[in-house]
Structure 1
Amino acid sequence: MGDRRNTRRRKGVDLSALRADVRAAVPDATAALVVTVAIFVWLYARARSGSSPTITVMPFMAEADTYVMYWLCQAFGWSALLWAWVTTMLGLLRSGHTPGWFPASPARLERWHRTTSLTTVALMFLHAALFFAELVRENRDDKAWVGRLWSAFVRTFVPGGYDSGTGKVAILLGLLAFYLAIPLGLAYYFRTRLGARSWRALHRFVLAVYVLSVWHTLLYGTNVWFDGWPRTTLWLLQLPPALLLLARLIIPARPSERGGALRGRPMALTLRIPALTAVAATIATIIVVVVSGRDGGRTPGVDGAGLNVTPGMVWAGFAVFVVILAVAMGLSRRGEPVRTAERAVSR
């Protein structure tokens, strides 16, 4: 009986771990909801007072009570980005050299990372769902409910379906982040089927979700379009994960990823060089942006220019990303040993 149960577990989803993590995520999700409510109150108050950058760009939204769902949508977006930052930091701490003075054990970091990941995906969904509800409310021209729901669904949940203004790029980036977060973030629960090396290779690409989320918010979030402490703070918050990732690349925690062990794996060494270059360039960009105050976003009193990034560019970049992911997965599966669920958990 036990062997059959273990066989089913290897072939499918680790439902026991998923259920345990969902239960463990309840306090975390509750905290996220409290934070979301606080952010909503702040956004709503700014809209009522007329001090919100959103009102400056879209004056018709000055009627704060009419657009309550929009402000709630924005609040969930902000809390989703905050939780994405937290789970990214926890993941980088867990996968690297944890300092001896750090108060949490690796096992606890792992559990926190998984629960905050689940909360992040839920917040991202609620962010999109409330935007969908707002579009349904706004689409009063279509008297048929089916037409209103379908139009809102396409514009909210279909990549490329939103076809006006900065949303052509903003919502595309957000949707790509959301749809990537589901398989990449939940890959842990398929680790016994994927194999340890394949699971680790796949899960590392979850960093793309965070990058897309930051891009979606910093350049297109209406509440941080202009200069000020919210925008500066968001940029400064990108330094810790970038520095942790740089340290993770320079001094890998796993012996199999260090220089001596990689001599017979030229592809792994080849991939590490551009990764190090990209992270170093990102850190330099963050410093320049914070010091100069210019990041390509909107400037008060200046009419918006054309989009610097087009949907075609985003799709092209996404295609390259998928190819790289497929190559990494293919390489990881070469000589993948048969491992038990317990060994597959280690990173």
Structure 2
Amino acid sequence: MTSDTRPDEVGAVTPPGRRRPPGDRVALRGDLRSALPDAGAAVVVTALVFALLWARMESGASDTVAVMPFMDDPGTYWMYLLSQAFGWSGLLWAWGTVMLGLLLSGPRPARLPVSGQVLERWHRTTSLTTMALMFAHALMFAAELVRYETKVDWAQRLWVAFADTFVPGWYDSGTGKIAIPLGQGALYLAIPLGLLFYVRHRIGANTWRRLHRFVIVVYVLSVWHTLLYGTNVWYGEWPRTVLWLLQLPVAVLLLLRLLRPARRAERLGSPGGGVARPGWWVRAAGRVAVGAIVIGLVVVAVSGRDGGRDRPTHPPATAPHAQETD
């Protein structure tokens, strides 16, 4: 989830007497080391979110319990709470790394508290942390399913948990039929798109740059997954509104990045001005679409019509799905 522009992406010459690192693995190892403080901060945030979710469930104020009343025991469902906590910290880190990427690849403020090189490093390390948090979110969801499926032997419990969590289309209960494949799509796109940065010299900078643009799809899928399946934002109340509002700066930065890209070749120009007419119309349509999204986000925030459910008078009492049987 790195930015589109780097000095070494356009064939920068290595200064005399200085050799490049032997291969891309050095860069990845270096970024993994640099990501340790960032990952530590993510663990702290995850622990705080977990503690908050636990306290709310224990006090009876949890929206998760309002959606699924049988989950009123944090001691039993702690793995589900931990999955939620990893999910929220993962979405927060995804928001941050996307914002950094858009800031780096579009028009930058005249004065920044840190250099572009530091921002670039933060972008790479938060990207790595985001991938780890997404995987941890899925892994803890699978662990909860292993605990839940008590009517079958261990081998089948492990298979059912793996399939429900990681196999698209396998989970067959309620909103999860749509929401879980969206989350799986985000995870399965995030990892290769994020790691391709470290082999960009082998696949070519232009190829990497084109593929990297799909990172925004990862973020959209993640937010969509949360809006559909996040029980903490299930109802049309302030937490859901805040989640929608957080998408506004992302959309605005994306629009600015499209209107004023850092690379001259990506500027729109006039029809036929060095760009094939179909390509020009595609670029223009993209800018119009993102502008419409910005307006739509403002309308959602102002109107309060954010797709949230009404809180029922008599909450449901069913389990998320029927247990597997031999």
Q: TM-score range by the shorter chain?
A: 0.7 to 0.9
Please tell me whether residue 263 in structure 1 is matched to residue 273 in structure 2.
yes
Distance 2:33 2:46 in 1: 20
1:297 to partner: Cα distance: 2.5
Q: TM-score, normalised by structure 2?
A: 0.86
Aligned equivalent of 2:306: 295
Instruction: From the superposition, tell whether residues 128 and 101 of structure 1 become closer, same or farther in structure 2 (CA, over 3 Å).
Output: same
Please tell me whether residue 59 in structure 1 is matched to residue 73 in structure 2.
no
Please tell me whether residue 273 in structure 1 is matched to residue 284 in structure 2.
yes
Distance 1:273 1:220 in 2: 33
Q: Judge conservation of contact 2:38–2:126 (CA < 8 Å) in 1.
A: yes
Q: TM-score, normalised by structure 1?
A: 0.81
Distance 1:286 1:296 in 2: 12
The AA in structure 2 aligned to 1:123 is L
1:233 to partner: Cα distance: 1.3
Distance 2:28 2:96 in 1: 20
Distance 2:314 2:292 in 1: 30
**What are the superposed Cα offsets for residues 164-190 of structure 1, whole Å, 9 maximum, x if unpaired?**
111111111000000000111111111
Aligned residues: 295
**What are the superposed Cα offsets for residues 96-143 of structure 1, whole Å, 9 maximum, x if unpaired?**
12212111222111111110000000000000000000000000000x
Q: Judge conservation of contact 1:181–1:209 (CA < 8 Å) in 2.
A: yes
Distance 1:197 1:302 in 2: 55
The partner residue of 1:203 within 204, 212, 227 is: 212
Runs of 4+, deviation exceeding 6 Å: 5-8
1:236 to partner: Cα distance: 0.9
Aligned equivalent of 2:32: 22
The AA in structure 2 aligned to 1:91 is G
Distance 1:66 1:169 in 2: 26
Q: Judge conservation of contact 1:15–1:189 (CA < 8 Å) in 2.
A: yes
Mapping of residues 123-272 of structure 1, within 5 Å: 123-142=133-152, 144-260=153-269, 263-266=273-276, 267-272=278-283
Q: Judge conservation of contact 1:94–1:106 (CA < 8 Å) in 2.
A: yes
Deviation larger for 227-236 or 245-254: 227-236
Aligned-partner SS, 1:61: coil
Deviation larger for 180-189 or 76-85: 180-189
The AA in structure 2 aligned to 1:184 is L
1:303 to partner: Cα distance: 9.0
The AA in structure 2 aligned to 1:286 is L
Counting aligned pairs with the same residue, the percent is: 60
Q: Judge conservation of contact 1:98–1:106 (CA < 8 Å) in 2.
A: no
1:37 to partner: Cα distance: 0.6
The AA in structure 2 aligned to 1:23 is R
1:263 to partner: Cα distance: 2.2
Cα RMSD for the two superposed structures: 1.9
Aligned-partner SS, 1:30: helix
1:273 to partner: Cα distance: 1.7
Which has the larger share of helix?
Answer: 1
Distance 1:269 1:34 in 2: 46
Q: Judge conservation of contact 2:39–2:129 (CA < 8 Å) in 1.
A: yes
- Higher relative contact order structure (alpha carbons within 8 Å, sequence separation ≥ 6): 2
Structure 1 residues not aligned, in runs of 5+ = 305-347
Deviation larger for 55-64 or 292-301: 292-301
1:211 to partner: Cα distance: 0.3
Aligned equivalent of 2:125: 115
Deviation larger for 47-56 or 25-34: 47-56
